[in-house]
Chain A
Amino acid sequence: QKEVEQNSGPLSVPEGAIASLNCTYSDRVSQSFFWYRQYSGKSPELIMSIYSNGDKEDGRFTAQLNKASQYVSLLIRDSQPSDSATYLCALSSTGNQFYFGTGTSLTVIP
């Protein structure tokens, strides 16, 4: 059983601040890592994918992966009220299965 742990929050940040979302996982052979955003009542949508150690930036979003520490994070710079959602950390195994965390609820306060 692969475990993906996230702080459920809620995490509140003021508009314009940096939001930091964290995720740890228990399986050392996990290969691919993803951050999804899910608005209330909607389906998840991909924010970032990351496959190797280090940072990956896409606009206001930066994903960080540290496989030795089994840790993946998502930074959202210049947070906007429209970023208010639940953020899901996910990983995939060599067996093509996906595992999701329970999500962190983020609220950006105008």
Chain B
Amino acid sequence: EAQVTQNPRYLITVTGKKLTVTCSQNMNHEYMSWYRQDPGLGLRQIYYSMNVEVTDKGDVPEGYKVSRKEKRNFPLILESPSPNQTSLYFCASSFSGAVYEQFFGPGTRLTVL
């Protein structure tokens, strides 16, 4: 089954404790992206990647890191989480670039205390 998977689905952590949210797709997609969704603000793009070793900042990259060492994986790293990073996070992938439909993962609900 073609899908985007994220882990963990739910995470409660404390300020400053480094965490990684994993994202993996099995569709051989070139483009992958991370979003956060907050009430009243909608979906905002954090980082995106056009291919292996190619990443770019989206609208809200501060406090986040990403890497793309393999085509299928695109982890999101919060090195020192803060409460304002409490949000619902989605990973998405598409065949190539932003012209194509994005397929979204199930989401990760992160709470930073």
A interface residues, Cβ below 8 angstroms from B:
1, 4, 31-32, 34, 42-46, 49, 51, 88, 90, 92-93, 95-103
A56 to chain B, nearest CB (A): 14
Chain B, 90-105, CB within 8 A of any chain A CB: 90, 97-99, 101-102, 104-105
User: B102 is contacted by which of A42, A93, A98 (Cβ under 8 Å)?
Assistant: A98
User: A102 is contacted by which of B42, B48, B90, B106 (Cβ under 8 Å)?
Assistant: B42
Q: Would you call B75 an interface residue if the criterion is a C-beta within 8 Å of the partner chain's C-beta atoms?
A: no
Check if B42 sits within 8 Å of A88, measured CB to CB: yes
- Most chain A CB inside 10 Å of its own CB: which residue of B35, B44, B102: B102
How extensive is the interface on chain B, given as a class?
20 to 34
- B35-63 CB contact bits vs A (8 Å, 1 = yes)? 10000111111001010000010110000
Check if B99 sits within 8 Å of A46, measured CB to CB: no
Q: CB-CB < 8 A to B90: which residues of A?
A: 43-44
Q: Taking CB as reference atom, which chain B residue is nearest A100?
A: B43
Q: CB-CB < 8 A to B81: which residues of A?
A: none
Check if B56 sits within 8 Å of A45, measured CB to CB: no
Check if A93 sits within 8 Å of B104, measured CB to CB: no
Q: How many A-B residue pairs have CB under 8 A?
A: 62
Besides A97-B45, A100-B44, 12 more A-B contacts (Cβ < 8 Å) are A43-B104, A43-B107, A46-B101, A88-B43, A92-B98, A96-B31, A96-B97, A97-B58, A98-B33, A98-B45, A98-B48, A99-B45
A52 to chain B, nearest CB (A): 12
Q: CB-CB < 8 A to A42: which residues of B?
A: 106-107
User: B104 is contacted by which of A1, A44, A51 (Cβ under 8 Å)?
Assistant: A44
Check if B99 sits within 8 Å of A102, measured CB to CB: no
Q: Taking CB as reference atom, which chain A residue is nearest B107?
A: A43
Q: CB-CB < 8 A to A49: which residues of B?
A: 101
The 26 listed contacts between A and B (C-beta, < 8 Å) are: A4-B42, A32-B99, A34-B102, A42-B107, A43-B104, A43-B105, A44-B43, A44-B90, A45-B104, A46-B102, A88-B43, A92-B98, A92-B99, A95-B56, A96-B97, A96-B98, A97-B56, A97-B59, A97-B98, A98-B98, A99-B45, A99-B59, A100-B35, A100-B42, A100-B44, A102-B41
